[in-house]
């Protein structure tokens, strides 16, 4: 199968990452190249989106191409299970949607973050993987509960812009409180990318908010191969001490994945897991990162988000440049 997809950071090699970052840097600032004239990207959103939607459409338009946007409310309900007897609510199978769209568009982006059952089920990214399997055009992961690779590459680009060298730097990936249960996608993706870059990653979270074991192990292997490291720390202050990058985001509890009320109960006692100026002072003058959207004054205070070390809008902007690089690699 020669079709290339962009689904996961698990497949990414260091040379591929460097190529993407170099191409993204070249894309930045040069708006009107027409490298994708006549190409269309179909995007399917099964959940709301601001950054992903607008940054991809901006990227395609600036490259001379076009986006066709489909939201779940424009669509029939879709069946992802192979061999299903479709006598329920789903009106069309992903098989047919993927093969049909492959006749129309040049690439297909899919955001599918919804919880549909247990973590064991949702970590398989059924909907995204089904699209990738049945499409004959490249499929791009626009975020699942397991991975958000476009975000993580934009994050790497942002770190590279603000720090002279990434290898050996201390990055703390910090769990924050949040009223809703969130996806693990951005966390898993930046964890693997930072490991690949040889950073010293501290994954900081309260007990019970462990990330996926396979991803953690893989990130450790990647880090060791690049003279970096990955460790887990459950004490907030210890985790932030000496951090050169503080990457904050909430993520869900995989153990109570299908029981959000129980997760909410656990989180009531975790309100100190929040980034504020006091916490920032424990770091080594860390860059503050967050993939957005952020719950202001819950996950992080206004003061730090709007403070001098925050690079959250650079992260958002770099989505455009990185996605141009991804699209050019897949479509040219």
Q: Which residues bind a copy of itself (CB under 8 A)?
A: 31-32, 38, 40, 42, 45, 48-51, 53-55, 57-58, 61-62, 66, 68, 70-71, 73-76, 79, 83-88, 91-93, 95-97, 99-101, 103-105, 179-180, 292-298, 302, 305-306, 312-313, 316-317, 320
Q: Which residues are bridge partners to 139 per DSSP?
A: 108
Q: Which is nearer to a copy of itself, 200 or 321 (CB)?
A: 321
CB contact set of 83 (below 8 Å; sequence gap of 6+): none
Q: Which is nearer to a copy of itself, 84 or 225 (CB)?
A: 84
Positive or negative, the CA dihedral 173, 50, 119, 94 is negative
Q: Which is nearer to a copy of itself, 9 or 62 (CB)?
A: 62
What is the smallest separation between the CB atom of 102 and a copy of itself, expressed in angstroms?
A: 8
Q: Which is nearer to a copy of itself, 254 or 315 (CB)?
A: 315
Cα–Cα distance measured from residue 222 to residue 189, given in angstroms and rounded to the nearest whole number: 13
Q: Is 329 helix (H, G, I), strand (E, B) or coil?
A: helix
What is the smallest separation between the CB atom of 181 and a copy of itself, expressed in angstroms?
A: 12
- Encode burial over 61-77: b for 16+ CB neighbours within 10 A, e otherwise: ebbebbbeebebeeeee
What is the smallest separation between the CB atom of 53 and a copy of itself, expressed in angstroms?
A: 7
Q: Which is nearer to a copy of itself, 79 or 244 (CB)?
A: 79
What is the smallest separation between the CB atom of 42 and a copy of itself, expressed in angstroms?
A: 6
What is the smallest separation between the CB atom of 116 and a copy of itself, expressed in angstroms?
A: 19
CB contact set of 184 (below 8 Å; sequence gap of 6+): 145, 146, 211, 212, 251, 252, 254
CA proximity to 142, closest of 64, 55, 58: 55
* Cα–Cα–Cα angle for 274, 185, 101, rounded to 5 degrees: 145
Q: Which is nearer to a copy of itself, 104 or 167 (CB)?
A: 104
What is the smallest separation between the CB atom of 47 and a copy of itself, expressed in angstroms?
A: 9
């Amino acid at each position: 199968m020669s079709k290339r997809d962009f689904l996961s950071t698990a497949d990414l090699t260091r040379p591929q990452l460097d190529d993407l970052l170099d191409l993204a840097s070249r894309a930045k600032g040069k708006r009107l190249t027409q490298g994708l004239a006549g190409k269309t990207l179909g995007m399917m959103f099964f959940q709301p989106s601001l950054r992903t939607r607008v940054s991809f459409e901006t990227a395609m338009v600036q490259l001379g191409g076009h986006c066709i946007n489909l939201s779940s409310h424009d669509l029939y309900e879709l069946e992802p299970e192979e061999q299903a007897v479709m006598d329920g609510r789903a009106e069309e199978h992903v098989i047919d949607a993927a093969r049909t769209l492959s006749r129309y568009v040049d690439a297909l982006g899919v955001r599918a973050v919804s919880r549909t059952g247990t973590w064991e089920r949702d970590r398989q990214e059924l909907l995204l993987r089904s699209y990738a399997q049945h499409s004959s055009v490249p499929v791009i992961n626009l975020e699942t509960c397991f991975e958000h690779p476009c975000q993580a590459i934009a994050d790497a680009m942002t770190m590279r812009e603000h720090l002279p060298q990434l290898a050996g730097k201390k990055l703390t990936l910090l769990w924050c409180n949040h009223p809703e249960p969130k996806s693990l996608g951005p966390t898993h993706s930046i964890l693997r990318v930072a490991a690949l870059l040889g950073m010293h990653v501290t994954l900081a979270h309260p007990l019970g908010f462990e990330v996926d074991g396979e991803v953690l192990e893989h990130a450790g292997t990647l880090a060791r191969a690049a003279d970096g490291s990955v460790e887990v720390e459950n004490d907030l202050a210890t985790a932030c001490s000496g951090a050169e990058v503080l990457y904050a985001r909430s993520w869900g509890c995989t153990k109570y994945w299908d029981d959000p009320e129980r997760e909410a109960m656990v989180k009531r006692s975790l309100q100190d897991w929040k980034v504020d100026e006091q916490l920032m002072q424990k770091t080594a003058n860390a860059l503050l990162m967050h993939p957005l959207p952020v719950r202001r004054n819950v996950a992080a205070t206004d003061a730090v988000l709007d403070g001098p070390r925050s690079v959250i809008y650079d992260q958002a902007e770099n989505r455009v440049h990185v996605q141009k690089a991804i699209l050019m690699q897949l479509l040219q």
